């Protein structure tokens, strides 16, 4: 019965006999190629870690094959002074399985060690994440204001996406910063209309971006010798034909589309546009 058990074991193990294309050889070849790219250090690591394990597996595979052939041919059901061949085959199969697990673990570690390091992705140099671009469009004062971080990102993202309101405001701000002093009063009106095109104003709630932008515009004008000022308009105010303009008739402002620009004497220079009811 010992012989039949051995023969049966031989049949079960036929499919697991080593071949020239077994996974272990593929892993060795792959790591050897990586090691070659890394030079002598990589080759040393591969030889010190992989060679001993693969040599052990090769020797055990050869012994296992010899024993299986002996059992299958009926030459010996037992070793001369030892346990049955089937028991030896079982033990060797278990040992080979353990070694293969160890080799797989070593392969994984070496692959991680020898694989070329991934190059870190370059930081997005796009418009929306560039402080330099923020300063170019909004100026250093608005860029340095931490309370406006969300609005700055929103505006510059809109420019990247081609949003008309954002592009219009960004363009007007660029023109304002490069314009001669005599053009600044009219540009104050244009910037106001571009701002509300980007951010329509339908409530009277305070807006940090609106207030900071007005302050920066007036500061820039004063530095250039221009004393025009800006007066904000809020929804709910009574429509005044001397200060406001609208496409339709009404008595109450419900949406602001611009601000009032005043002369240095306080008189209206340009009216604020809006929607009324």
CB atoms within 10 A of CB 147: 10
pLDDT at residue 3 tops 60: no
Round to whole Å and give the CA distance between 37 and 50: 17
Q: Model confidence over 235-245: pLDDT tens digits?
A: 999 999 999 99
Q: What is the pLDDT of residues 105-123, one digit of tens each?
A: 766 776 676 566 666 555 4
User: The whole model's pTM is what?
Assistant: 0.55
Handedness of CA 188, 191, 197, 201 (dihedral sign): negative
Task: Please say whether the beta carbons of 74 and 17 come within 8 A.
Answer: no
Greatest C-alpha distance within the chain: 120
Quickly state the pLDDT bin for 42 (edges 50, 70, 90). low
């Amino acid at each position: 019965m010992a012989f039949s058990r051995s023969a049966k074991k031989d049949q079960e193990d036929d499919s697991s006999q080593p071949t020239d294309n077994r996974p272990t050889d593929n892993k060795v070849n792959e790591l050897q190629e990586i090691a070659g790219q890394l030079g002598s250090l990589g080759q040393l690591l591969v030889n010190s870690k992989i060679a001993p394990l693969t040599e052990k597996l090769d020797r055990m595979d050869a012994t296992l094959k010899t024993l299986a052939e002996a059992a299958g041919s009926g030459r010996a059901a037992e070793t001369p002074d030892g346990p049955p061949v089937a028991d030896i085959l079982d033990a060797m199969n278990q040992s080979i399985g353990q070694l293969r697990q160890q080799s797989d673990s070593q392969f994984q570690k070496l692959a991680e060690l020898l694989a070329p390091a991934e190059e870190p992705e370059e930081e997005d140099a796009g418009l929306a994440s560039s402080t330099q671009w923020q300063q170019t469009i909004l100026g250093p004062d608005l860029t340095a204001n931490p309370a406006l971080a969300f609005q700055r990102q929103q505006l510059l993202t809109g420019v990247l996406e081609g949003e008309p309101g954002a592009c219009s405001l960004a363009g007007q701000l660029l023109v304002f910063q490069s314009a001669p002093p005599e053009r600044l009063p009219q540009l104050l009106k244009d910037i106001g209309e571009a701002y509300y095109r980007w951010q329509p104003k339908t409530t009277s709630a305070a807006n940090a971006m609106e207030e900071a932008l007005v302050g920066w515009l007036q500061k820039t004008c004063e530095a250039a010798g221009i004393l025009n000022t800006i007066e904000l308009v809020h929804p709910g105010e009574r429509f005044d034909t001397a200060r406001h303009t609208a496409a339709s008739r009404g008595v109450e402002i419900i949406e602001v589309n611009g601000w009032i620009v005043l002369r240095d004497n306080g008189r209206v220079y340009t009216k604020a546009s809006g929607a009324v009811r």
